[in-house]
């Protein structure tokens, strides 16, 4: 079958640095193409970009995997998956057929050099320099294969070090986890950059592709009324919560090796923290933004074995119930040891050693089998003196501190909490809320994270991807916590029933400063 690609229309991509960005014709190769990520996320994202006219004028997508399949067979599988996972329903058969003409399957083992040679032959088949040399290699594989795949691509001439200003390019996109500690991340960084430059490596954290996560920076730096309050003079503390309603399910084997600290804190939570707390970048260019994020991570007060005992809490769920339905405990999950002490919940109290945030605690928590699925940031402002309202205050009308809540998912929006007078003759106060809702305000579906990230990778904009010094800085924080825990067994105060908000030890973490967790609630 001919490899000639079809045309898809306009080529422009929005970015933080400019309103439009050209996306050149290119070839995308997905390694691990028979996996769940390809059918659930990657192909639906590319198909959506195609429908919106944001794919390059000419493009090809090769799926590289070990199972024997034909181009037609792979396309049929993806069409079936699209009926389940596409955000545009129903799927238009004519538009799908036009998109599917650009999809090809390449059978091969990741360790077989001959498979890369035959891949190179197929990529070089059309007489089109852009399709031959503008290449995006997406590693949807186990992290243990990242370096070896890059080595073999280089050996057949598909992956080369590119100089600044080169018209033709190659890029490597890698999924998390990127290493399992700082040493392994450093080694993997070195292996990848043997053949390519750092600017050719795009480390994905899909959280950064979420519209509401991107909006953190825009909200901060485009609204003077909030940025002037964004410091130790006005902010008492900050809470970042990423709660998951489900248990580990079929990921028990992975969780036994990773745990919540590696799975969630090293990437998602520290990424959100860096955006919330970083200093203003000098521009909206990728390196300016990424440099400020790195500076923020490097400013977090180092954790010693002693401070870990005071500032880091683990937890693990046992059998409970949620919505009246029974939930099994972590130790009863598939591929989990019956005496496992792996954490399914983490809560941290971190401090940032810089002028803006000195003395302000940042509380981070994440866990499995919690009451709701939600990701949000709560900025708690310092309380006002209570002398004017002390006489009228009752437990029901106590003066509460102002707070700003940024809901990242679901029900994306921003809420400002303040005190208002209850109608009537008495001067009673009650907490009230002003709320901004993305859906009602903009009336449009928020794009999937992978749509934005794939588009930016093809455009070469690294703003939403993680730089090597950033990933290594995050691992240093996580490694210090793991070292402080030292493999000790969980205590009774660190277990929690499935369907609750975590262990008692997490409340103990906030108690010394008189703080308490604010649990995410459904927004109006």
Of 331, 346, 368, 139, the residue nearest 246 (C-alpha): 368
| DSSP code string of 190-227 | HHHTTTS-GGGEEE--GGGGSHHHHHHHHHHHH-HHHH
Q: Find residue 171's DSSP bridge partners.
A: 136
With H, G, I as helix, E, B as strand and everything else as coil, classify residue 240.
strand
Q: Cα dihedral sign for 442, 419, 229, 299? A: negative
Alpha-carbon distances of 320 from 112, 255, 328, 369, 491, rounded to whole Å:
47, 20, 7, 9, 18
Neighbours of 286 (CB within 10 A): 21
* Active site annotation includes 268: yes
- Cα atoms in the Cβ-side hemisphere of radius 13 Å centred on 234: 11
Neighbours of 76 (CB within 10 A): 13
Q: How far apart are CA 354 and CA 350, in angstroms?
A: 13
Q: Using CB atoms within 10 Å of the CB of residue 389, give its burial: 0 to 12 exposed, 13 to 18 middle, 19+ buried.
A: middle
Catalytic-labelled residue, pool 195, 268, 322, 417: 268
What sections of 387-503 are H helices per DSSP?
A: 438-442, 449-459, 468-485
Of 136, 147, 135, 63, the residue nearest 111 (C-alpha): 147
The residues annotated as belonging to the active site are: 268
């Amino acid at each position: 079958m001919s490899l000639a690609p079809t045309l898809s229309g306009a080529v422009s991509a929005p970015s933080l640095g400019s309103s439009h960005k050209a996306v050149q014709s290119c070839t995308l190769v997905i390694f691990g193409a028979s996996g769940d990520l390809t059918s659930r996320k990657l192909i639906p994202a590319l198909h959506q970009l195609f429908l919106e006219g944001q794919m390059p004028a000419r493009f090809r997508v090769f799926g590289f995997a070990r199972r024997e399949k034909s181009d037609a067979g792979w396309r049929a599988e993806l069409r079936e998956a699209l009926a389940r996972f596409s955000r545009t329903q129903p799927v238009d058969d004519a538009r799908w057929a036009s998109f599917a003409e650009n999809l090809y399957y390449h059978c091969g083992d990741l360790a077989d050099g001959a498979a890369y040679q035959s891949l190179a032959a197929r990529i070089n088949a059309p007489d089109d320099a852009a399709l031959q040399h503008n290449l995006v290699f997406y590693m949807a594989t186990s992290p243990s294969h990242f370096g070896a795949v890059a080595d073999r691509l280089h050996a057949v001439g598909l992956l080369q070090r590119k100089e600044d200003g080169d018209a033709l390019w190659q890029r490597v996109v890698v999924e998390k986890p990127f290493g399992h500690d700082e040493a392994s991340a450093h080694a993997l960084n070195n292996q990848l950059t043997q053949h390519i430059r750092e600017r050719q490596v795009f480390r994905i954290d899909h959280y950064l592709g979420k519209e509401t996560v991107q909006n953190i920076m825009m909200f901060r730096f485009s609204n003077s009324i909030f940025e002037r309050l964004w410091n130790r003079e006005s902010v008492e503390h900050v809470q970042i919560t990423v709660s998951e309603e489900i248990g580990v399910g079929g990921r028990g084997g992975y969780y036994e090796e990773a745990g919540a600290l590696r799975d969630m804190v090293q990437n998602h939570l520290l990424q959100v923290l860096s955006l919330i707390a970083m200093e203003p970048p000098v521009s909206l260019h990728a390196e300016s933004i990424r440099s400020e994020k790195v500076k923020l991570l490097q400013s977090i007060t180092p954790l010693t074995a002693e401070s870990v005992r005071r500032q880091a809490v683990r937890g693990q769920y046992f059998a409970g119930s949620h919505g009246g339905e029974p939930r099994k405990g972590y130790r009863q999950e598939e591929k989990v040891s019956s005496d496992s002490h792996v954490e399914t919940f983490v809560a941290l109290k971190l401090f940032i050693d810089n002028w803006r945030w000195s003395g302000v605690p940042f509380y981070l928590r994440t866990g499995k089998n919690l009451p709701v699925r939600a990701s949000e940031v709560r900025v708690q402002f310092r309380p006002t003196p209570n002398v004017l309202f002390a006489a009228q205050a009752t437990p029901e009308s106590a003066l509460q501190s102002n707070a700003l809540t940024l809901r990242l998912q679901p029900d994306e929006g921003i809420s400002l909490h303040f005190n208002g007078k209850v109608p009537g003759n008495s001067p009673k106060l009650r907490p009230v809320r002003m709320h901004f809702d993305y859906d009602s305000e903009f009336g449009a579906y928020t794009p999937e994270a992978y749509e934005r990230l794939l588009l930016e990778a093809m455009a070469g904009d690294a703003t939403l991807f993680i730089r090597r010094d950033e990933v290594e800085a995050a691992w240093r924080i996580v490694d210090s916590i793991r070292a402080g825990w030292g493999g000790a067994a969980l205590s009774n105060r660190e277990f929690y029933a499935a369907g609750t908000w975590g262990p008692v030890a997490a409340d103990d973490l906030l108690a010394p400063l008189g703080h308490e967790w604010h649990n995410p609630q459904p927004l109006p």
